[in-house]
């Protein structure tokens, strides 16, 4: 049985995942695409030492920003790990806000056509010369559905979607969920949410905490490698603009908060489309959540 914990950033998924792991005496697989990289700690909200010690975690800071690591790579490695974990555990916890990576494990990857390299080369040149706004506008025109749920501050994701749109003449989203893969395990998905104002307050506070805890210094260390795909993410790109002299520090921090709020909205849009998710408020008693999970486990076990 795979128990997946999803929800927007800063909602408290790690805390709940640890509670569930302790309840079921099992281990946690992280599906947070930002937490894979060992050079990034503060800006990706990696679990604390205390949290990591509270339950076994996997896929936390296990890669380098210099590694090429795709969602397909993650799916393959996660499935191998799950097979091993299920030999000694009846249940395993999956946690993360990266919808694409969660779906890769629970539903499998979609099939995409091969794309001639010149499409990507042209898009990378457009990004370099005209900026990310042009890519965002182009995706909005070609595939509004995917535009509404993708991380618009991630040029790698934008370029991937656009190269499919341009090479096939079809929306990127039309290739999503074309096949159903039967996994050798049942999945229960728990969603954590809250009123939008509360989510935004938590995000703003988290960004302030990150700055206080040294995010500026962390971003400065990786700044010489700012073109790497792993660094095309909220919290770093904005500070790179500050280092480049384009923005003031105060403006960069405000942009981190704004872009993180936008990201949280897109996360919710993505997860809300999954009608199988059992949603809970962040203030719900964990015992209530465990009780509902137990009910679902009995139901699925008896099917």
* Listed residues 175, 194, 209: the one ending a domain: 175
Comparison of pLDDT for 176 and 241, the residue scoring more? 241
Does residue 193 share a domain with residue 54?
yes
CA gap 6, 270 in Å, rounded: 10
Across the chain, mean pLDDT equals 93
* Residue numbers belonging to the annotated binding site for ATP: 7-14
How do strand 92-95 and strand 2-6 relate by DSSP bridges?
parallel
Burial of 277 (0-12, 13-18, 19+ CB in 10 A): middle
Given a cut of 90, whether residue 157 has pLDDT beyond it is no
Does residue 235 share a domain with residue 123?
no
Is residue 111 within 8 Å of residue 178, measured between CB atoms?
yes
pLDDT tens digits, one per residue of 40-64: 999 999 999 999 999 999 999 999 9
Give the DSSP letter of residue 230. Answer: G
> For residue 227, what are the domain limits?
2-110+177-301
Token pair recorded at residue 271: 């997860």
* Listed residues 159, 175, 191: the one ending a domain: 175
CA gap 139, 127 in Å, rounded: 13
Does residue 261 share a domain with residue 164?
no
| Gyration radius (Cα) of the chain, Å | 19
Res 182: pLDDT: 86
Does residue 187 share a domain with residue 82?
yes
Polymer length in residues for the chain: 303
CATH number at residue 196: 3.40.50.300
CA gap 303, 65 in Å, rounded: 43
Does residue 214 share a domain with residue 137?
no
* Residue numbers belonging to the annotated binding site: 7-14
Res 2: pLDDT: 98
Number of domains into which the chain is organized: 2
Does residue 269 share a domain with residue 221?
yes
pLDDT tens digits, one per residue of 175-223: 876 566 789 999 999 999 999 999 999 999 999 999 999 999 999 999 9
Tell me the percentage of the chain whose pLDDT exceeds 70. 99
Does residue 165 share a domain with residue 297?
no
* Residue numbers belonging to the annotated binding site for substrate: 9-14
CA distances from 212 to 208, 217, 262 (A): 6, 10, 22
If we measure between CA atoms, which residue out of 213, 211, 245, 239 comes closest to residue 226? 239
Does residue 196 share a domain with residue 278?
yes
Does residue 285 share a domain with residue 228?
yes
How many other β-carbons are positioned within 10 Å of the β-carbon of residue 276?
11
Give the DSSP letter of residue 25. Answer: T
How do strand 57-58 and strand 278-281 relate by DSSP bridges?
unpaired
Over range 290-299, report the average pLDDT.
96
* Listed residues 141, 157, 175: the one ending a domain: 175
Does residue 159 share a domain with residue 21?
no
Res 29: pLDDT: 98
CATH number at residue 145: 1.10.20.140
Res 177: pLDDT: 66
Does residue 135 share a domain with residue 276?
no
Res 155: pLDDT: 85
Given a cut of 90, whether residue 282 has pLDDT beyond it is yes
Give the DSSP letter of residue 108. Answer: -
Over range 65-87, report the average pLDDT.
94
Does residue 105 share a domain with residue 89?
yes
């Amino acid at each position: 049985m795979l128990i997946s914990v999803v929800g927007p950033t800063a909602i408290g998924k790690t805390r709940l995942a640890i509670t569930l792991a302790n309840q079921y005496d099992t281990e946690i697989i992280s599906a947070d695409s930002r937490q894979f990289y060992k050079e990034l700690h503060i800006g990706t909200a990696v679990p604390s030492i205390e949290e990591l010690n509270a339950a076994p975690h996997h896929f936390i800071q296990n890669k380098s920003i210099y590694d090429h690591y795709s969602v397909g790579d993650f799916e393959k490695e996660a499935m191998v790990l799950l097979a091993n974990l299920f030999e000694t555990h009846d249940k395993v916890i999956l946690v993360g806000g990266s919808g694409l990576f969660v779906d890769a494990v629970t539903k499998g990857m979609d099939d995409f056509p091969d794309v001639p390299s010149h499409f990507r080369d042209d898009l990378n040149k457009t990004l370099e010369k005209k900026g990310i706004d042009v890519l965002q506008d182009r995706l909005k025109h070609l595939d509004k559905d995917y535009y509404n749920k993708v991380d618009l501050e991630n040029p790698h994701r934008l370029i991937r979607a656009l190269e499919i749109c341009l090479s096939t003449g079809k929306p990127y989203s039309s290739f999503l969920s074309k096949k159903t893969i039967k996994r050798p395990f049942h999945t229960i998905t728990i969603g954590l949410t809250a009123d939008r104002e509360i989510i935004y307050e938590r995000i703003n506070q988290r960004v302030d905490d990150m700055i206080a805890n040294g995010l500026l210094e962390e971003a400065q260390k990786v700044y010489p490698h700012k073109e790497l795909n792993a660094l095309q993410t909220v919290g770093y790109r904005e500070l790179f603009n500050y280092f480049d002299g384009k923005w003031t520090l105060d403006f960069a921090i405000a942009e981190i908060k704004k872009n993180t709020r936008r990201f949280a909205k897109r996360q919710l849009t993505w997860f809300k489309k999954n009608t199988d998710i059992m949603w809970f408020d962040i203030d719900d008693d964990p015992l209530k959540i465990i009780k509902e999970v137990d009910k679902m486990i009995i139901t699925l076990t008896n099917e």
